[in-house]
Structure 1
Amino acid sequence: MNDNIFVVIPTLNPNIQIFEAFLDNLLKETKNILVINDGCRKEYNDFFKKIEKKGIIVLHHYINLGKGRAMKDAFNYLLNTYPKLKGVVTADSDGQHSIKDIKKVASEIERHPNSLILGCRNFDSKNVPTRNKFGNKITRRVFKLFIGLSITDTQTGLRGYPKDVMVKFIDTLGERFEYETNMLIETINKNVPIYEVDIETIYISGNSESHFNPIKDSISIYKLFLKYIFASISSFVVDILFFSLFWILFKFNYNILLATICARVISSLYNYMVNAKLVFKKENKTSFIKYVLLVIIQMFVSGLTVEYLATLISINPTLIKIVVDLVIFVVNFIIQRELIFIGEKS
């Protein structure tokens, strides 16, 4: 391995036998190893002293602060301490990553110095625990739908971060497992390509050593998607309420179209601010202009469609508008994701 690439390993109460054997094998390939003790129990103190004597750098958290914080602290330490640093490979302490695959990811850092390198497992393998297989499939589909990224392994801990990529992601939100997910999301906004590397699929004792909490950590990981759902539903409610109000107030021809325009102006301003500040976290003059154009187009499509259908069907226009806008909702999100709030794609 390159002398200017470090292997970073966050750990919390690991299986000492597995972890020590892994570190001993890794030391045969590189001396550049940094372990983060993320609040391990006191009985691990002797173990950490032992590996420090072998030349491994150990950073200590007094209490468990989370994998995200451990990675940020490691990035910060290495960036400050090693000016010739080329990048880092992150690995887990539970024996899931082979030395061969760590070296493979490290070599890609040199070939792709501006990319985030992902070591991707084969989830069709028979030895993959059901919860991991199910979790990855769900997250892959959510990423494709909401973010527009096709990623083979969204939960991999074996990743390569060239120095420039480390700098871009060191301030990314997230203190625990969600930090790695947030980095994937930000690859688009920060114009960081993703490069995938096939790695061996290893699970020891059904992945019992993992500290991933399927419920708690999944909620953190899916927080962005929950924010978008909140923004969309609340904007939809605002739009329908104001449409109903203006439709009652405007008792003349084309009142449906006018009510649609007035309601959409109000709900769109609300929706833009929520999406820009809370969901996509991208707000600038260009995105606002694109958003206004999208609103104008969708406003007339919605208004004219509801106006036309109201002449054909004897149903309250508010009910017709709900159905029409539900269809527009899907198209609206895809356009916002692809063209408005997201930067140049990797």
Structure 2
Amino acid sequence: MLQMMWAMMMTRSVRRPERRATSLLPPVLIPAYRPSEALVRLVGDLMERGFHRIVIVDDGSGPSFAEIFESLRRHPQVTLLRHDVNRGKGEALKTGLFHLLQASDCAGAVTADADGQHLPEDIERVARRLAETDGATLVLGCRQFGAGVPLRSRFGNLVTAAAMRWIAGLALSDTQTGLRGIPRALALRLFETKTAGYEFELDMLVLARHAGFGIAEVPIATVYLDGNRSSHFNPLRDSMRIYFVLLRFTLVSLATALIDNSVFRLVLAITPSLPEAQLAARAAALSFQYPAARRAVFHSGEPHRRELPRFLSVAAAHALVSYAAIHWLTQTHGFALFPAKIAVESALFPLNFLLQRDWVFTSSRKPPR
């Protein structure tokens, strides 16, 4: 009898920590478009590792893939959501997140790809890291882009990482990873974004940066099956969409410059006064730039009473420096007025961007924990 009681106590002492550990695992969200059997194997492995809630979004895969999804739906741990047509990875992630966030006890979710390129053990590592965070940190499962990685993936990540470092001030080793631990507070903010495809994941990084969330990297295995043939990423189309996210500030700035220079030339044709032309041009340009940069580039949700004075102070300083530099170039060095303005505005562009990124449109509030 004593031996039996001792055996029961030992069994409890061994198993209890495992039950506590698995109960802490956040749900896994997998967007899937025309998946292979790799998705079935992945879900089976995740269930064996103690994941009790797995949400799969069928992003309009069509009837040819119904058997795979039906086999997954039979598991009590799996919830299957469907799109009638293919709407893009970003929309699939939003659909899954919206479903998960209906539960008040959902503190966040781990997203993973359906093509088998994320190993179950890496998904678990990211999940545990998310569970250990303070609720204000985005966790990225980051691959290593060595010699065995397909050239298009290496080049794409290199360019995107460099652009992300400049645009968002983020030095990340893997900007395009689909394995992420997203805290609830950030997930709620993601519905503000308008992007629907692969570019949604870059928008997530930009939004996290400017909303004050921390970003943690967890090294994971780099797996490319059959030269990455299973991926539905279109190198030309989807890369252009991704880089459009990163180039939005440049596009907004170019549009601002077009408005500025057009009004400048128009007013200058009416009156020869440089200060009047500068003032009218800046007023017209800034009335466009402020809302465009605030919402389309930096995804800011801060109140106008905080951001507008900062924006106007940067604009005022910009106007003074611009006027002084243009006057110096035209009066001292004999530059024509319009080329001088183009040169000065181009030189001030990087500083103007950095001030907007790191001072004007930076969140003053800490994400809720």
Question: TM-score normalized by structure 1?
Answer: 0.89
State the match for 2:286 in structure 1.
Answer: 268
Indicate the larger mover: 259-268 or 128-137: 259-268
Kindly provide the amino acid, as one letter, of the partner of residue 168 in structure 1. R
State the match for 2:298 in structure 1.
Answer: 280
Structure 1 pair 10–263 and aligned structure 2 pair: CA distance change class (3 A): closer
2:150 and 2:287 map into 1 onto residues whose CA distance is 46
Indicate the larger mover: 168-177 or 37-46: 168-177
Please give the residue correspondences for 1:62-211 in structure 2 after superposition, counting only pairs within 5 Å: 62-80=84-102, 82-112=103-133, 113-123=135-145, 125-211=146-232
Match of 1:36 among 54, 57, 65: 57
Match of 2:250 among 220, 225, 229: 229
Structure 1 pair 111–222 and aligned structure 2 pair: CA distance change class (3 A): same
SS in 2 for 1:302: helix
Structure 1 pair 262–168 and aligned structure 2 pair: CA distance change class (3 A): closer
Does residue 315 of structure 1 match 2:335? yes
2:360 and 2:144 map into 1 onto residues whose CA distance is 34
User: 1:83-133 deviations in whole A, cap 9, x for unaligned?
Assistant: 43333211111111111111110111121122111001111x222111111
Kindly provide the amino acid, as one letter, of the partner of residue 79 in structure 2. I
Does residue 239 of structure 1 match 2:260? yes
Kindly provide the amino acid, as one letter, of the partner of residue 94 in structure 2. K
Query: Contact 1:40–1:63 at 8 Å: present in 2 too?
Result: yes
User: 1:176-206 deviations in whole A, cap 9, x for unaligned?
Assistant: 2222221111113322211111111111111
Query: Contact 2:207–2:298 at 8 Å: present in 1 too?
Result: no
Kindly provide the amino acid, as one letter, of the partner of residue 213 in structure 2. V
User: 1:111-160 deviations in whole A, cap 9, x for unaligned?
Assistant: 1122111001111x222111111111111111111122222211101111
In structure 1, the gaps of 5 or more residues are none
User: 1:16-48 deviations in whole A, cap 9, x for unaligned?
Assistant: 2x2222222222112322222222232322222
State the match for 1:302 in structure 2.
Answer: 322
C-alpha deviation, 1:60, in angstroms: 2.3
Structure 1 pair 238–114 and aligned structure 2 pair: CA distance change class (3 A): closer
SS in 2 for 1:167: helix
1:263 and 1:193 map into 2 onto residues whose CA distance is 39
Question: TM-score normalized by structure 2?
Answer: 0.84
2:343 and 2:271 map into 1 onto residues whose CA distance is 22
C-alpha deviation, 1:238, in angstroms: 2.6
State the match for 2:22 in structure 1.
Answer: 2
* Identity across the alignment (%): 30
2:107 and 2:22 map into 1 onto residues whose CA distance is 9
2:308 and 2:168 map into 1 onto residues whose CA distance is 19
User: 1:222-279 deviations in whole A, cap 9, x for unaligned?
Assistant: 333443233212222232233334445445xxx4344333432332333224323443
1:67 and 1:8 map into 2 onto residues whose CA distance is 12
2:200 and 2:261 map into 1 onto residues whose CA distance is 36
2:55 and 2:33 map into 1 onto residues whose CA distance is 14
Structure 1 pair 93–310 and aligned structure 2 pair: CA distance change class (3 A): same
1:193 and 1:294 map into 2 onto residues whose CA distance is 27
Match of 2:349 among 318, 326, 329: 329
Indicate the larger mover: 89-98 or 183-192: 183-192
Query: Contact 1:38–1:63 at 8 Å: present in 2 too?
Result: yes
Query: Contact 2:31–2:59 at 8 Å: present in 1 too?
Result: yes
Indicate the larger mover: 279-288 or 304-313: 279-288
Indicate the larger mover: 321-330 or 310-319: 310-319
2:263 and 2:106 map into 1 onto residues whose CA distance is 57
Indicate the larger mover: 182-191 or 55-64: 55-64
Equivalenced residue count is 340
Indicate the larger mover: 39-48 or 99-108: 39-48
